[in-house]
């Protein structure tokens, strides 16, 4: 791997992990809200 390419890949991975963690947390929060709201689909 060329110089600097590993750093760019690491930055991309950190950004992706951040987005994925946020989406998983958001998913869990919405599920809790759906359960608390008496959503007929649940």
CA 30 – CA 12 distance, rounded (Å)? 27
**Rama region for 39: left / alpha / beta (φ>0; ψ in -120 to 50; rest):** beta
Positions in 1-42 near another protein (CB under 8 A): 1-2, 5-6, 8-9, 12-13, 16-17, 20, 23-24, 26-27, 30, 33-34, 37-39
- Count of residues near another protein by CB under 8 A: 21
CA 29 – CA 42 distance, rounded (Å)? 15
**Residues at the contact surface with another protein, assessed by CB under 8 A:** 1-2, 5-6, 8-9, 12-13, 16-17, 20, 23-24, 26-27, 30, 33-34, 37-39
């Amino acid at each position: 791997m060329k110089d600097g390419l590993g750093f760019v890949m690491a930055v991309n991975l950190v950004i992706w992990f951040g987005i994925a963690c946020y989406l998983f947390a958001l998913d869990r929060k919405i599920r809790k809200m759906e359960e608390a709201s008496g959503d007929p689909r649940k």
